[in-house]
Amino acid sequence: MRTARVLAVLLVALASAQCLHAAPLEAIRDILRRHLPHPPDEAALAALSEDDLQGRLRDIDPYARVFSGGEYRVPLGSSGSWIGIGAGLAMRAGGPVLHVYRGGGAERAGLPDRSRLLEIDGVSVREQDAETIASRLRGEAGSTVRLRVALPGGGEKPFTVRREAFSPLDVELVPPGSQRVVRIRDFAGGLTRPAMRATLDFLDRTTAADRSAPLIIDLRDAPGGDLYEAFDLAGLFLPAGTLLGTIRGRDGYALEIRSPGGDKYSMPLTLLVGPETASSAEIFAGILRQHDRVRLVGQTTYGKCSSQTDARLSDGSVLRYTNREVLFPRGDTCTGQGLTPDLAVGDDELDMLSRLVKRAQSLYE
């Protein structure tokens, strides 16, 4: 079975959320009835009520959720900026972990990536759920928050982080650039593929390594994004016409996706993956792996090879639900099982990028 660590990535950069008011239940039933990949059970639809709506939705579709107008935010790669500490939150068995974004307040304060959060403003986060922790981290631009963390390399340290506006990147070059390590945080429609091209071209111009040198892509913090962007990105590394996968929907709908033409990258690839690697990130990794194009280093991924879409409801709330399933080139899926790495590492090593890079580089020695 998959690791018991539960993915609960919350975008700490968000402003305060509003409470969910009464949602239009009949509209939700109609959307799910007409658009889920498999017809839902009518008794389960009838049981939808304001009492534990989110839980009852998950009984029908594990990835369905209703957001109030105040909760709903655009994806990571969309235009504009966020206000917050500049980090994401992932819940682990050992406690909450902070994923630090380049250019945000957390990085400017010197907070190491993947530090384990211990206290907020002097109060322990032990036994608090993800939404409670996230709400304590949110705040107005210009305000500060005091954090105590357990450092990835050992020891504890306090940090004071300023909440501020920042524009997170979906593709980041991990310094030093000579290592040829690129981090993908999000698959943003129309943005991630050109950002990857620009990053790789920059590496070719500014480092001694050539285009045939191994490339390491860090997907540990990538919970998903745009499905078609994942296909497009995989197509950068595979010959034109190669079958990338099949998108399957309701009433026999099936669409084969093949690699487009254009310039391709042929360097050896290693992907760093973990329990927070999900959805479009898993699809990208699975496609390349089935074509023997990559090696995976890390831990088993989340296990969700499907896509979700959002529907605005009459009261201003938003229903997110599954609308497509994705099959890999061989006709299988990662849903419910994830992708098992070729080279597995322990929890401590997963959070130490320098060690992971060394393990990845050892595959080419």
- Residue 211's pLDDT is 66
Tell me which H or E stretch contains 35. helix 25-35
- Residue 91's pLDDT is 87
DSSP string, 297-314: EES------EEEEEEE-T
| Residue 205 in tokens | 């111009």
- Residue 213's pLDDT is 80
- Residue 20's pLDDT is 44
Each residue's pLDDT, cut to its tens digit, for the chain (365 residues) gives 333 333 333 443 333 333 344 579 999 999 999 999 999 999 999 999 988 999 999 999 999 999 886 666 555 444 456 789 999 888 888 899 999 988 899 999 999 999 999 999 999 999 999 889 999 999 999 999 999 999 988 899 999 999 998 877 889 988 765 578 999 999 999 999 999 999 998 888 876 656 678 899 999 999 989 999 999 999 999 999 999 999 999 888 999 999 999 999 999 999 999 999 999 999 999 999 999 999 999 999 999 999 999 999 998 899 999 999 999 999 999 999 999 999 999 988 898 898 899 998 888 87
245: left (phi over 0), alpha (psi -120 to 50) or beta: left
Query: Which domains, and CATH codes, for the chain?
Result: 74-166 (2.30.42.10), 171-303+338-362 (3.90.226.10)
- Residue 81's pLDDT is 65
pTM over 0.75: yes
- Residue 361's pLDDT is 87
- Residue 292's pLDDT is 97
Using an 8 Å Cβ cutoff, are 324 and 37 in contact?
yes
Cis status, amide bond into 176, omega within 30 of 0: yes
DSSP string, 48-59: --STTHHHHHHH
| Residue 128 in tokens | 């608090």
Residue type, 13: A
- Residue 212's pLDDT is 74
- Residue 72's pLDDT is 62
DSSP string, 204-262: HHHSSS-TTS-EEEE-TT---B-HHHHHHHHHTTS-TT-EEEEEE-GGG-EEEEE---S
- Residue 248's pLDDT is 94
